[in-house]
Structure 1
Amino acid sequence: MGVPNSELPDHFAREASETAWADCARTARSHDEELAKAWKEEIDALLVFAGLFSGVLTAFIVVVYPLLNPTPTPDVNTAILLRISAQLDTISAPRGSVESIQPASMQSTSPSSGQPSSVWTLISCLWFTSLILSLSASSISLIVRQWLNHFTSPTPSDPICSTYIHCLRWYMGFLAWHVPGTLNILPLLLQLALIFFLVGLVILTWTLSAIVAAVTTPLVIILLSFLAFTTLAPIWKTKCPYKSPQ
């Protein structure tokens, strides 16, 4: 049986207390640094994927975006040639047919006013939503990374004060303000962005070519089925190792 602290000399009790606080501060500091390092590595991987994905998605949007405004811009040369042709027709035609020729010529020079088809509108909605989700994930990732830098910022050398700051940052800061939950949202945003993009891509392929669509659609279905299975499997089987934020 150990000797009670009250029976120890004061300097032994003080030394034991300082050693315990130093060990506690060292353990807390190590916990914070390892956790922040793991989170930063995950955020860096998400940022790389989000950057590549946004670049690919932007290339598709650039192609689809003009289709939302199908009204052609009047060509000056074409308009001049049509006007000259109309004047020549007016000169060579009988007087009674001048009025019937003029509206036809003017009709050919006026730009057509149409609306984009519902298919292109749907594809644009899916891809713009996907781009917004991807950019949102990137923006939130940068903000969270700044939080992690502050979380592991240096603390005073006093072990008691350092331990108190750890408890303040972790329990009253990160956990109370749901920072781990915010980190779990980031992969979910990118997964949703990928799903929206793939759905729009499938619709696009069916619009352009049935053969291309027949090849790409099964691949997209396999990928989406894999994502759905790995997301729902841990709900059915608690021992399933497919643990992920989505």
Structure 2
Amino acid sequence: MSEITHGDPERGNNPEGNQALPAPNQPSQVESNFGDSSGPLFSIYSKTAEEEDNKNAERWKNDADGILIFTGLFSAAVATLLGVTVQDLRPNSQDTSAFYLGNIYGVLADPNATRPSIPSPVAKPPPFSPPRYAVWVNSLWFLSLVMSLSCALWATSLHQWARRYIRVTQPARCSPEKRARIRAFFADGVDKMHMPWAVEGLPALLHLSLFLFFGGLVIFLFNVDREVFLCVVSWIGLFSMVYGLITLLPLIRQDSPYYSPLSILTWFSYASIRYVAFKVLVSTTRRYSSIATWQRYCGLMYRYRGWMLGGVEKKAEETASELSSKIDVGILDWTISALGDDDSLERFIEAIPGFFNSKLVEDLREHLTTDIRGRLFFALDGFLDRTLSSNSVIDSVKLRRLDMSLNAMNLIPVSHVWSVLTNILFYHWDHVPLWHLGAIAMIDLLLSMRKA
């Protein structure tokens, strides 16, 4: 007779006998890693961050590639010239030979000269001293070469940093919460260690090495040939003026696409000086000025502090916000000109009512010029003409496009609305499926006719 074995009350009826089953209300390890309710939000964060990180890493790599190409060519040119000028820093054996040959010739040239009974000591050449200009030229060019090679090493390291950042923050097999936290941890390190500043500092160092080379070239040519010197220094002077203008242009016009690596330093100095000045005013005028004046100084102080920390982009955001009405009109105009196919135009026309009624878009109708209104008319007229005359567009699409076009014309002060309605009533009336035309479309049609 077989013996019945009862399970251990502490272990339950587990056939293995050595592993406890999880409690009914306690999630398993797999569920806690991949089935937790926080997983969707972590996944959204990781996906969005992955797109941004890939763009930043690609931009860093592209900058590094361009710098590597330039430093390779530039370093080769500087090294070639240094091979010529470095000879001026050390004694030349030919000069020593020429000195002794000159002395021998002086003795042998006059056979009637009396010879002293005691031979005079052998004359020695004067101690060698390199020309001062040669010291300056080689110092500037060697420094330029070393800085250029340092930029190449820096650019190579930038490639490695970008690849490591992507590899660490985007592991292949990892739970959503772990991947998101790792990315947030390293992204915080990138911000705190000022990684963007390191990327921006690389071109600045390369530009500095180029100007050091220009300085050495000017000194070298000044001591070689004055005509060549004048030609080269004229171009360097013109280039320096243009470079200075490009550097200062973002301070004058924030929408300028031109800037140099020194523009960031120039803007930082400009904003810092103003920030310190108004900070001093806030501290000194608190007791002696009115509250309104003191508050205005405080506002300017914090404004320049934002410029100092946010760079030129911060000032550009403020300027764009102040000119939002004109910029919105430009956005509307550019969108009309850029869209070509009817599907894109349909989405554009459908978005017009929301754009004009938005609280973020102010005084749009007042800034619409006659040219923009004319382009709107031609876009609407051509869109409706192609839609209503096409046999490949079904009736429901025709009605939808007609309805949204009439809604757009109700909001846009188009002076040629009557022409659009005339084309519909007299040329495309047979193509309009009136038996499906809703009441809203008919009302919009009457309103448009009344406005015209």
Question: Smaller-chain TM-score range?
Answer: 0.7 to 0.9
- Which residue matches 2:199? 183
1:147 is the counterpart of 2:168: no
Q: CA separation in 1, counterparts of 2:130 and 2:80?
A: 20
Over 3 Å counting, the alpha-carbon distance change for 1:167 and 1:245 in structure 2 is: farther
Over 3 Å counting, the alpha-carbon distance change for 1:75 and 1:123 in structure 2 is: closer
Over 3 Å counting, the alpha-carbon distance change for 1:123 and 1:242 in structure 2 is: same
| SS of equivalent residue, structure 1 residue 98 | coil
Q: CA separation in 2, counterparts of 1:47 and 1:99?
A: 70
Q: Which among 45, 70, 77 is matched to residue 56 of structure 1?
A: 77
| SS of equivalent residue, structure 1 residue 152 | helix
Q: Which among 30, 44, 48 is matched to residue 23 of structure 1?
A: 44
Over 3 Å counting, the alpha-carbon distance change for 1:78 and 1:66 in structure 2 is: closer
Over 3 Å counting, the alpha-carbon distance change for 1:214 and 1:174 in structure 2 is: same
Over 3 Å counting, the alpha-carbon distance change for 1:78 and 1:147 in structure 2 is: same
Q: Which among 214, 217, 231 is matched to residue 201 of structure 1?
A: 217
Aligned length: 224
Q: CA separation in 1, counterparts of 2:166 and 2:68?
A: 21
Structure 2: gaps (5+ residues) = 1-30, 263-452
Q: Which among 104, 116, 121 is matched to residue 98 of structure 1?
A: 116
Cα displacement string for residues 49-75 of structure 1 (whole angstroms, at most 9, x for unaligned residues): 011101100111111111012x23379
Cα RMSD between the aligned structures?
Answer: 3.1
Structure 1: gaps (5+ residues) = 1-10
- Which residue matches 1:231? 247
What amino acid maps onto 1:28 in structure 2? A
Q: Higher helix proportion, which one?
A: 1
What amino acid maps onto 1:201 in structure 2? L
Cα displacement string for residues 4-54 of structure 1 (whole angstroms, at most 9, x for unaligned residues): xxxxxxx9xx68743332222111112111210111011011011011101
Q: CA separation in 1, counterparts of 2:212 and 2:199?
A: 21
What amino acid maps onto 2:234 in structure 1? P
Higher-RCO chain (CA-CA 8 Å, sequence separation at least 6): 1
- Which residue matches 1:157? 174
Q: CA separation in 2, counterparts of 1:30 and 1:175?
A: 17
Q: Which among 132, 138, 144 is matched to residue 130 of structure 1?
A: 144
**Could you tell me the TM-score, scaled by structure 2's length?**
0.45
Task: Please tell me whether the aligned partners of residues 204 and 261 of structure 2 are also in contact (alpha carbons under 8 angstroms).
Answer: yes
Q: Which among 68, 72, 75 is matched to residue 92 of structure 2?
A: 72
Identity among equivalent positions (%) equals 25
Over 3 Å counting, the alpha-carbon distance change for 1:17 and 1:187 in structure 2 is: same
Q: CA separation in 1, counterparts of 2:129 and 2:194?
A: 46
The Cα shift of 1:78 comes to 8.1
Q: CA separation in 2, counterparts of 1:99 and 1:232?
A: 78
| SS of equivalent residue, structure 2 residue 93 | coil
| SS of equivalent residue, structure 1 residue 113 | coil
Q: Which among 214, 219, 222 is matched to residue 235 of structure 2?
A: 219
Pair member with larger Rg: 2
- Which residue matches 1:35? 56
